[in-house]
Amino acid sequence: MGPDERERLFDRARECSTARESWPEADRLWTHVVAAYREAVRGPGRVDPHDRRQLARALWRHGMLLTALGRAAEGLTPGREAVALFEELNDAARAAAGPQRDETLAELITAMLDLAESAHAAGRPASRMDLLDRAVQVGLHTAGPPPSAGPRTREAMGTAYHNQATALLERARTGPSPDPDARAAALAASRACELRQRLLDPNRPLSLWEMANTYGLYAQCLVVVGEVDRARLVLDLGNRFVAVLGPAGEQPAAKLRAAAAMLAQRQGPSGGGRRRRFSPPW
């Protein structure tokens, strides 16, 4: 199969992946796409870096699709291979600069995050947490502090901190060490807020949606650690974004409503509540 035919097949699989009714067809197509790019990178002579990247992307997307189809345990295999390939591509791009470097690192972080969610869906919470931690660390160690990284890396790191906070908050509610996990969740959520605030763009509605969604999560974390005044402030900020988003903001609105209910329950009829000092550095 030639390069143009591989690209067309990749595009068909990606298009089928966008609609639930065509997911079974997308599953079949991704299998062919992966096979085509495996053959390309095994060919004689110099391997085209683009073919290696496309193989990683195909494996990554196939793993995500399998998880969406309810086959998360099966999706872990292509997801892990994709992460390994993205790690190799990231190592090879260390000498690069600008958009190329930014894109390579962002894809690695995002692939780790998606693999973490597949692990979660497959009932492997420890693997999920390990992958989330790795995603954060690879961003920090490769690009430095997130505010100084490229725009795509900062977007990916915002998601990494958000997802990490989500997992820690879930563990705080069910695990043996609720207080340390809750505080770590609040810190991760505050870092996600910091990054997403810097990426806000009125002309990019997704940035507003992500900000509102993280405010909903952060408010819940703050309620759990007893920072009720800060939680009220974050709730107010989140609701302003939801008002702008309208019906498109229903998911973050639900998260903000949950935080408001938690806050009301904590305060009780008297309007007060036990408070603990928590001041994240971001």
Per-residue pLDDT of the chain (282 residues; tens, 9 = 90+): 788 999 999 999 999 999 999 999 999 999 999 999 999 998 677 888 899 999 999 999 999 999 999 999 999 999 999 999 999 998 887 766 677 888 999 999 999 999 999 999 999 999 999 999 999 998 887 655 554 578 899 999 999 999 999 999 999 988 777 788 999 999 999 999 999 999 999 999 999 999 999 999 999 999 999 999 999 999 999 999 999 999 999 999 999 999 999 999 887 654 444 444 333 333
Q: What are the tens digits of pLDDT across the range 169-224? A: 999 988 777 788 999 999 999 999 999 999 999 999 999 999 999 999 999 999 99
Whether the Cβ atoms of residue 52 and residue 5 lie closer than 8 Å to each other: no
**DSSP H helical ranges for 17-98:** 23-41, 49-68, 72-92
Global pTM? 0.88
Residue 96, classed as helix, strand or coil, is coil
Q: What is the pLDDT of residue 148?
A: 55
| Phi and psi angles of residue 270, each rounded to the nearest 5 degrees, phi first | -80, -10
CA atoms within 13 A on the CB side of 212: 23
Residue 4: alpha-carbon gap to chain centroid = 31
Q: What is the pLDDT of residue 143?
A: 52
Q: What is the pLDDT of residue 106?
A: 93
Residue 280, classed as helix, strand or coil, is coil
Q: What is the pLDDT of residue 83?
A: 97
